[in-house]
Amino acid sequence: MASVREARQIIGANIKQLRRVRGLTQAELARAVGLHKQQIYRVERGQSGKLETYDAIARALEVTFTDLLVPPQDLSATVSRDVADIEAEKFLQRLAGNEGARQLLEAAPHLTPSQLRALLAVAREFLRLVEPE
């Protein structure tokens, strides 16, 4: 069983990881939950934190409080899926805004997984050429 200190360190590491994945600074997260940046720093280092603070941070990071209790290596798989989902959503939004790319993807429901991967690679290259970031 983890000690309170170990639990705080796990929670802090998870908060830091989730904050970074979501592209937030400590100051931005602090503003979102009504805290000072220094408090976020201490929470991420496992030095302090109340249950209410953890809960508010979890909500700001769009996870549950219990997600913060998961050992970091277990959370990494979830975070990786979240990042992939976010990137896919951004990619699909870019595709939806381009008529040529949208036409390419109309065939998607009729393709095998390998054909779909190839089509997505073509669509990515198409967007790279016509809409440089």
pLDDT level of residue 99 (50, 70, 90 thresholds): confident
Assess whether pLDDT exceeds 80 at residue 31.
yes
Q: What is the topology classification, in CATH, of domain 4-75?
A: 434 Repressor (Amino-terminal Domain) (1.10.260)
Q: Say which residue, 115 or 81, is predicted with more confidence.
A: 115
What is d(CA 9, CA 116) in angstroms, rounded to the nearest whole number? 42
What is d(CA 126, CA 43) in angstroms, rounded to the nearest whole number? 44
Residues of the chain with CATH 1.10.260.40: 4-75
72-96 and 4-21 helices cross at what angle (nearest 10)? 20
Residues 12-41, mean pLDDT to the nearest whole number = 92
Q: What pLDDT does 125 receive?
A: 76
Q: What is the mean pLDDT of the chain?
A: 77
